[in-house]
Each structure stands twice: as structure tokens, then as C-alpha cells.
Structure 1
Amino acid sequence: MKKYIYTYTLCLAVLFSSLSFAQQTPADKQSQAISIVGVTAHIGNGSTIENATVVFENGKITRIGTSANTATAGKVIDAKGKHVYPGFIAPNSTLGLVEVDAVRATRDQQETGSFNPHIRSLIAYNTESKVVESCRPNGILTAQITPRGGAVSGTSSIVQLDAWNWEDAAIKVDDGIHMNWPNNYSRGRWWLGEPRGLRPNKNYAKQLTQIQDVFNETASYLKGSRSPKNLPYEAMEGLLDGSQKLYVHVNTEKGILDAIEFGKKNKLKIVIVGGYHAHKVATTLRQNKIPVLLHRTHSVPNMDDEDYDLSYKKAKILTDAGVLVGLENSGQMERMNTRNLPFLAGTVAAHGLDKEKALQLITSNTAKILGIDDRLGTLEVGKDATLFISEGDALDMRGNILTHAFIEGRELSLETHQTKLWKRYTKKYDGK
């Protein structure tokens, strides 16, 4: 009996502690025009406007230009000496799908099975996630919620990060399907007596044939009677008619080239995700107009003979070659590390890429890759008023101090559990 009482009490404690730290109530719909004046506007397309005025109403930007030539309206925010940016976009993210890595009940980023194009990450997205909340004070206001695992992981969707539920959050539903490309190398399983280290994957050709067979079967099914109903094949219809993109997670040089050829053969719109060796095939990527969501900038080299700063300068190499590049931050502790996305771009800028071009890697470029550039990614008339004001350079952690943030014109709370702790311990060590 004592065991059951203890378990019941523990469950109640966990429940009430989680309720006591619930996310803030989503912001109300914009009710009046807002003008930001005297600010340095980073447009997101490579240009800036000094001493700018940005006006937005009903969730849309209505005017932007120099303060001398742009009339204000409604509530005026004096942002002299500050900076305004389009909201940062985090692609290939599992935000809202996992809350605590060590607690299995909070992990919902992967389904069983290998072939799951019909799995939709959107309906598993948790708008109450405290991890999601922690991204907003760093300027990340939009994310592509992406499933993991298997050969075909499922379908991603794009959400804004201040919502009551997944329906409210959705910006673009089921934007694409994610495939994990077979690796043309395998690592020796020493526990089975295999030699350590990398060696050619003897099953690589067979695995490619299996992928092509699936697409052939899907095409035949969709052209036929569609009976009996096959949900995975139905889910892939958007890939074959061009309304969805295929996000191919692949890193090796040969794998990227094979994925490009596969996309051409099947007339697919593909995006390379990860692309560790993408710089080696930059010309081919440019010629075929294949964009890249590049792996985490803050990574060490994989190979002994690679430059120590390869990950830092790879985005510049690809950009200079004419490839459309965005930054993604998957990997260890990826959900908690999502809030560091602006500093990935800052590192790229520190290693040679122009600062405003580096900004594009997490704004306009990513918006183009995800197909949401008609609404997001730049500060332009007619686009969503999803933007923020920073005291300094938002790509530098010393300057990334937000004073205001808006999603579709709705002013957000920037308070989180972390900001409360920061303020608490700032007072402690200030001697207050």
C-alpha cells in the first residue's frame, strides 16, 4: 500500500510542478497599428536600412523605409540605436516532439517501422513545450517540425512558435517528406567481430534499388484503381505531382550525387539536408538548383585530414559557388540547441561570409527552401509581421538581447523559465 501511495503522490507532484511552469498564454491578435522608429532594419535579403521605420497592421507589414520618408501609425516604439530583424527560421527541427530526452513518455519524434511517409509530425507537436518557449528570446519564431528514424521518417510541417495548439501553430501543413539516404560506407561492428573503422557498404546498390522500387510501386498505385487503399503510397502523391519536396538526409559525396540523380530520374523537388560533403559537389548542386540545409556549424571535422574550421566556412564555400544554403541544427541535444541557431550564422560570418549574407542563412534562404518566402524571411511590405527588436547584433550572443518580438503582429512575452533564473542569479551575484 505504501508503494502505491508513494507512486500516486509522486505523480501528483510531477503534474502540479509541470502546471506551475506552464508556457505563457499565447499573445492576442494585433489590435492596432504598430510603428518601430529609428531602428537599423536588417531586411533579410542582404540589405539594411539605417534610421528606419517599420509599420505593421493586422499582422502584415504595411510600410518600411527611412524614418524621414515613412509615416508612422498607431503605437510608436522608439528603437533608436537598436536593430530589427525578420524572425529566424529553424528547419529540420524536432522542437515540440520531445521534452525530456531521458523520459520516454515525452519522446514522440519517431514511429516504429522503416517506411512511414504517412506519419505527420504536426499532430504530435506540443505547443506547451518549455523548450519551444526558450527559443523565442533568441529570435527563433518559426520552425519546421520534422520526424526522425527509418528510411522514410514521415512528413514535416512549418509552425510559428506562439500558439494554443497545433492547428493554430501551422503555417504550412505537410510541406515535405523526409528520407534518410543509405550510407555508402558502413562502420565495422566490433562487438560482432567485424574490423573497426569505415568500409564500403556492400548493400548500398541493393538499398538504392529498393528505394526506386518503392517509387515505381507508388506511381503505379496512384495511376491505378488505388484499391486496396495504401496510406503510405497515398501520402507520397505530393512528391510525384510536385506539390511537396523530398528532404534527403545525406552527407557523403557519392550519396549526394546519387540523391541528385534519383531526384532527376523521378522528377522530384529535392533538398539536401545535412550535406557534410556538399562543398565537394557544389558545382553539381548549383547546376541542378538543389538547395542545402547545412549541418550544424558548431561541429568538429569528421576526418583527420580536414581543416579544423571546415564546418565554420562550408556555408561560405557553398554560397560563393551559387548554392542556396540554409542552416539547420540537428544533432546532440538538438532541441535545446535550437536557440543557438543565430550564433551558427554568426560563426559563418566570423569566417568570411558577409554578415547580411550570413543572416540570410536563417531567414530568406531558409524561407525559400521551405516554400514560405511569400510570407516570411524578409522585412517587406505585405509579408507577415513576424520580427523582433534586438539591442545589438542578433548573430552575436553579446548583442542578441531582445526587447520586443512579434508573430503576425502579435506581441510576445519573452519571459521563460531560463530568463527568470537569469534575473534571479544576476541579482545574487550583483550583491543584491
Structure 2
Amino acid sequence: MKKYIVLLFISLFGFAQQTPAPKQSKSILILGAKAHLGNGKVIENSLISIIDGKIANIGDATVMKPAKHDIVIEASGKHVYPGFIAPNSTLGLVEIDAVRASDDESEIGQFNPHVRSIIAYNAESKLVETTRPNGVLLAQITPRGGRIPGTSSIVQLDAWNWEDASIKTDDGIHLNWPRSYSRAGWWAEPGGIEMNKNYDPQVKAIQEYFDNAFAYLGSKNTKKDIPYEAMKGLQSGEKTLFVNANGEKEIIDAVLFKKKNNIKNMTIVGGYYAFKVGALLKENNVSVLLNRVHSLPLLEDEDVNLPYKNAKLLVDAGVLVGLQNAGDMERMQTRNLPFYAGTCAAWGLSKEQALQLITGNSAKILGIDKQYGTLESGKSATLFISEGDALDMKTNIISFAFIDGRQISLESHHTELYQRYKGKFEQQKK
């Protein structure tokens, strides 16, 4: 029996992550591509110089005279984009849902701010490498479960281990806000809406936990409390409080909670009805990471296209908006992130505004915008070259991708299978 178990695990994990690229050693020049900067601007005929992992220079190729580089990539007719960012992701925390030993996304207990997702991150996950051929090169690795699941960190998706992958550790605390109501029944036969009679006590329990944590942090305790220690940085702005909430009441209560507790940075995760309180969010500098765009409306009498329009409604209200992908099969679906942005472009936003949802805006929300998210001189050379529009699944065909100036592999288990079965059918034609 043990022999068969070993064989099963070999078959499940037999395909390892592609070998991470070595540090950039040669200067690279990308010429002629249409550069989408990730801040709403475009350079039609661009020149991008990459030296020592940074963008040394970027501008109009018709004006700038390129210096000599070791490698020149002629990219006329192609497009250059900043690496896409996947916030609120469980990539690398779960490999196969049905294999318990590969599932490390949550801990027992309700209040776990000290649980650090980064140390459970598996940089050699097969699922991580499937995101890169579509341009997703960065992710916020986020725990799940409980009222406070823990602390997230941000990684680049081409590394030997979590230490190499980390670009910002312990960036934020995640809080699952209680629901004021719930729906009875199940998805095939939904029932009515039921009020949550425990909503107020649940909110009170959150407030008490924060009161105790901040009281501890403001005192001179000789005995360390590790969970409370993890709450340090929320009031100073070193960490962001990411609040999972969708309802209008829940979002309003979360904003009031921010003000009451002097929390500097807050982001609403989910935010299905955030558009109803856009002015409140803007006034209090609260950003939103929207639910998966390719979803059905929450209520049967709502506009079926509301999930597609949500981003446009919030952008028009002046709210800083990004996209995230939590939900069923979320790790496998991470590769579809650019196409969610493309759907937002089809429903009101311009293509460059939609691009910002997964580049510049997400970088600002996650606090990594000084180095990532846009194509600018001095920033990390984390970018890719696409044959066409990267927000369209028909034309998102990536020929080169770089993380911190390192040219990374675009191969994955998926591409290996594609080549294998393509060869099979070519043999059958002969």
C-alpha cells in the first residue's frame, strides 16, 4: 500500500517549477514596442533600457538615441506592459485541494494576526508558473480562515524559495468583517435573506480585540504577546488593514472602524456594493480590491452586468481600485487576471484605465509602487512583451518576460502538455 502512495505523490508533484532565472548580467534594449506604462499613459514607439535589474531609461524611440547594449530586442508592432499584480492570492499555499498535506492556507482559531503566510509559500508550486505566460509576475500571498486570518506578504513569481521570492514581507493584516445578513438555501435553490442576529456582538468582539492589542502596544509589557505584536504598524501606516466586506452596511461600519481606531491605511477586499458609498471611501482614503469580475450578481433582481460595471462606477467616484481573484479555484484562475481587466474595459473603462487595475493601482494599494506597477526610469524591470493586447485572451501572447531584469521562463506544465499533444495529432496526420 505504501508503494502506491509514493507513486501517487510522484505523479502529483512530478513536474517541478521551472528553474529560476539568474541575476541579470547583460544590458538589454527593447526597441519599437508600444509601451503601456501602467499609469494611464502610452508611448507609441518606445525605447526601454534595462541595466542591473532596473529600467535605466524609457522614452520615445523617435527622439532618444539608444546607447550600445549587449542585447537588443526589436519589438516593433508589439506591446510592452508592467508585470501584472495578483492581490489577495493563495498561490503557493495550496497545491491540490484534495491533498491535505499540500493545503496550508489557514490556521485554527479566530484571531491570528501573527500567522505569516510567507513562510508557508511554496515557490516551486506548479500553479505559480501557470500565471507567468499571461503576464502575472507578482502576487500578494494571503492567508484564509477565521476572523483575522493573519498577515500577507508580496512576492515575485520566479524564485527558489520564499526568502528569494519576497519583495515586501508582512505588508498587511487581513480581517473578515461579519455579514449583517446571509442567504438561506444553496446556489441551485437559493432561499431568502436572513438577518445575522449576532452581527453586533461579532463587531464588538473585533473592537475589543483591537482595543486590547493597541493597549498592549502602548504599554511597557515585559512579557511579549506574539499576536498583539503582529498588530504593530496598523496605526502608523507601516501595515495596511485589508477588510473583506461586500455589503453596504458592512463597508460603512468598516470605514467608521478605521476612523475610530486611527488606522491609517485600509483597503476593502470584495467591495461588491462599494459603489454605493464611493464618496465615503474617497473622503476617507479607502481603496478597494474588487471581487472577481467574471461573476454573477449577488441578488436575482440586479443588473446581470453589475460585476462588469463595478470598476467603472468606483473609478468615476474617485476611488483607488484594483482587481483580485479570490473564490472557487482561485489559484488556477489567477492566470485570467488580465482578462478580468479586459472585461472592465468592455464595460466602461478605457483600456489604459483597466490596465491600471492590475498594475499601477494595485501597486499603490499594496505599497510597492516605488519599485513596481509602472514602467518608469529607476523602477524594477518587471515587465513583459506581448504580441498584442494583453487584456484580450486572443492576443495575449507573451514572447519575453522579465522580473527584476531577469529573463524568466514562460514554460509550464500546461505548455509541456500542449506541445506533447500537438505532436500527437501531427503524427496522426501523417
> TM-score higher than 0.5 here?
yes
AA aligned to 2:139 is: A
Q: 1:18 Cα shift?
A: 5.3
Corresponding residue number in structure 2 for 1:305: 301
Which one of 180, 204, 207 corresponds to residue 209 of structure 1? Answer: 204
Equivalences for residues 331-370 of structure 1 within 5 A: 331-370=327-366
Corresponding residue number in structure 1 for 2:153: 157
AA aligned to 2:46 is: A
Corresponding residue number in structure 2 for 1:3: none
For each residue in 1:227-265, what CA deviation from the matched residue of structure 2 results, as whole angstroms up to 9, or x when unmatched? 432111111011133211100000000000000000011
Corresponding residue number in structure 2 for 1:38: 32
Distance across 2 between alignment mates of 1:15 and 1:150? 30
**1:24 lines up with 2:22 in the alignment:** no
Corresponding residue number in structure 2 for 1:261: 256
For each residue in 1:41-71, what CA deviation from the matched residue of structure 2 results, as whole angstroms up to 9, or x when unmatched? 0111111111211111000001111212231
Q: 1:202 Cα shift?
A: 1.4
Corresponding residue number in structure 2 for 1:326: 322
Of residues 197-206 and 242-251 in structure 1, the stretch that sits farther from structure 2 once superposed is: 197-206
Distance across 1 between alignment mates of 2:305 and 2:149? 31
Corresponding residue number in structure 1 for 2:193: 198
TM score, norm. by length of structure 2? 0.95
Corresponding residue number in structure 2 for 1:136: 132
Corresponding residue number in structure 1 for 2:172: 176
Q: 1:351 Cα shift?
A: 1.0
**1:52 lines up with 2:46 in the alignment:** yes
SS at match of 1:175: strand
Distance across 1 between alignment mates of 2:355 and 2:398? 16
Residue 302 and residue 15 in structure 1: after superposition, are their counterparts in 2 closer, same or farther (change >3 A)?
Answer: closer
AA aligned to 2:53 is: G
Distance across 1 between alignment mates of 2:14 and 2:209? 48
For each residue in 1:243-289, what CA deviation from the matched residue of structure 2 results, as whole angstroms up to 9, or x when unmatched? 11100000000000000000011111210000011111111111111
AA aligned to 1:150 is: G
Of residues 205-214 and 80-89 in structure 1, the stretch that sits farther from structure 2 once superposed is: 205-214
Which one of 70, 74, 77 corresponds to residue 70 of structure 2? Answer: 74
Of residues 416-425 and 167-176 in structure 1, the stretch that sits farther from structure 2 once superposed is: 416-425
Q: Percent identity?
A: 60
SS at match of 1:273: strand
Of residues 239-248 and 257-266 in structure 1, the stretch that sits farther from structure 2 once superposed is: 239-248
AA aligned to 2:391 is: L
AA aligned to 1:292 is: V
Distance across 2 between alignment mates of 1:379 and 1:222? 39
Which one of 115, 118, 123 corresponds to residue 119 of structure 1? Answer: 115
Distance across 2 between alignment mates of 1:120 and 1:189? 35
Task: Give unmatched runs, 5+ long, in structure 2.
Answer: none
Residue 400 and residue 189 in structure 1: after superposition, are their counterparts in 2 closer, same or farther (change >3 A)?
Answer: closer
Task: Give unmatched runs, 5+ long, in structure 1.
Answer: 1-5
**1:416 lines up with 2:412 in the alignment:** yes
Corresponding residue number in structure 2 for 1:276: 272
AA aligned to 2:257 is: F
Distance across 1 between alignment mates of 2:13 and 2:87? 29
For each residue in 1:330-366, what CA deviation from the matched residue of structure 2 results, as whole angstroms up to 9, or x when unmatched? 1000000000000000000011210000000000000
Which one of 218, 227, 244 corresponds to residue 223 of structure 1? Answer: 218
Distance across 2 between alignment mates of 1:202 and 1:402? 51
Residue 199 and residue 12 in structure 1: after superposition, are their counterparts in 2 closer, same or farther (change >3 A)?
Answer: closer
AA aligned to 1:347 is: T
SS at match of 2:234: helix
Of residues 359-368 and 297-306 in structure 1, the stretch that sits farther from structure 2 once superposed is: 297-306
**1:248 lines up with 2:243 in the alignment:** yes
For each residue in 1:162-188, what CA deviation from the matched residue of structure 2 results, as whole angstroms up to 9, or x when unmatched? 001100000000000000001011344
